[in-house]
Chains A and B, each alone.
Chain A
């Protein structure tokens, strides 16, 4: 059962991303991305991280992607994105990307080398305890970060009277 869910979600996720690469319509891209994020949320759930899964769906698939869609509506681009040309750059990027991919796989193997499969990494309760003890400073600072981001975005994109 779990395997079936995993495979379905993985395929959905990878497929959505692949579709995004192929598609040239930004709105579609955004929707593909919603799909990818939502299925990732499911995968998070499979990893015994229900809270992360919920946040993923709410914040990512919900809030952030809505933001993207708003932005796309604002631009209201008529013409589709241009066709990609194969250039030296693309070849270089592909080559480097492949190397990176191999490296990442190796790194992943290395990372798992010392792992001892134990039980679940603790429930929401453990996570909360962690957040408000060891990571308290970081947690508080993120709130500041969000505030700063908010102000920054307003300052950047807000209508200026004189500009």
Chain B
């Protein structure tokens, strides 16, 4: 029986790595993957807390997060495809169109 706090610590660690990855990487696609890691860290946290409190709500939420993540991934990738078509690049230090 592994105590939930261990899982929770793992979740925090993964989230931190996700943040790190997001800021270190410079191509849109990998940054997007970093976001997915953060989402999964969240999931892990939900599940460990569900375990800790013995309640199923956390598990239900994880399902929703996964569905939303799937939807998000689809749209996000579509956007990345469009960006790539127009700019021929995915380097976020080259994409400056958000500047007003």
Q: In the complex they form, do A and B come into direct contact, defined as C-beta atoms under 8 angstroms apart?
A: yes
- Chain A residues with CB under 8 Å of chain B are 2-3, 6, 10, 13-14, 17-18, 20-21, 26, 29-30, 33, 36-37, 40, 43-44, 46-49, 51-52, 55-56, 59-60, 63-64, 67-68, 71-72, 74-75, 77, 81-82, 84, 89-90, 93-94, 97, 100-101, 104-105, 108-109, 111-112, 115-122, 126-127, 130-131, 134-135, 138-139, 142, 145-146, 148-150, 152-154, 156-157
- Chain B residues with CB under 8 Å of chain A are 1-21, 23-27, 29-30, 32-33, 36-37, 40, 43-45, 47-60, 62-64, 66-75, 77-82, 84, 90-91
Closest CB in chain B relative to A141 CB, distance in Å:
10
A49 pairs with B59, CB closer than 8 A: yes
Q: A3-B2, A108-B8, A112-B52 are in contact. Are A152 and B78 (CB under 8 A)?
A: yes
Report the Cα distance A119→B2, complex, angstroms.
Answer: 13
B37 pairs with A115, CB closer than 8 A: no
Closest CB in chain B relative to A75 CB, distance in Å:
6
* Residues of chain B within 8 A of A109, CB atoms compared: 5
Minimal Cβ-Cβ distance residue in B for A29: B30
Instruction: Count contacts between A and B, CB distance < 8 Å.
Output: 228
B90 pairs with A43, CB closer than 8 A: no
**Most chain-B Cβ atoms within 10 A of its Cβ — which of A77, A100, A111?**
A111
A142 pairs with B67, CB closer than 8 A: yes
Chain A interface helix/strand/loop/mixed: helix
B68 pairs with A142, CB closer than 8 A: yes
Minimal Cβ-Cβ distance residue in B for A9: B10
Minimal Cβ-Cβ distance residue in B for A105: B12
Closest CB in chain A relative to B73 CB, distance in Å:
5
* Residues of chain B within 8 A of A43, CB atoms compared: 7, 10, 44
Closest CB in chain B relative to A100 CB, distance in Å:
6
Report the Cα distance A105→B12, complex, angstroms.
Answer: 7
Report the Cα distance A60→B5, complex, angstroms.
Answer: 24
B54 pairs with A120, CB closer than 8 A: yes
Q: A14-B17, A21-B25, A100-B19 are in contact. Are A130 and B60 (CB under 8 A)?
A: yes
* Residues of chain B within 8 A of A74, CB atoms compared: 81, 84
Report the Cα distance A81→B53, complex, angstroms.
Answer: 44
Closest CB in chain A relative to B87 CB, distance in Å:
11
* Residues of chain B within 8 A of A149, CB atoms compared: 70-72, 74-75
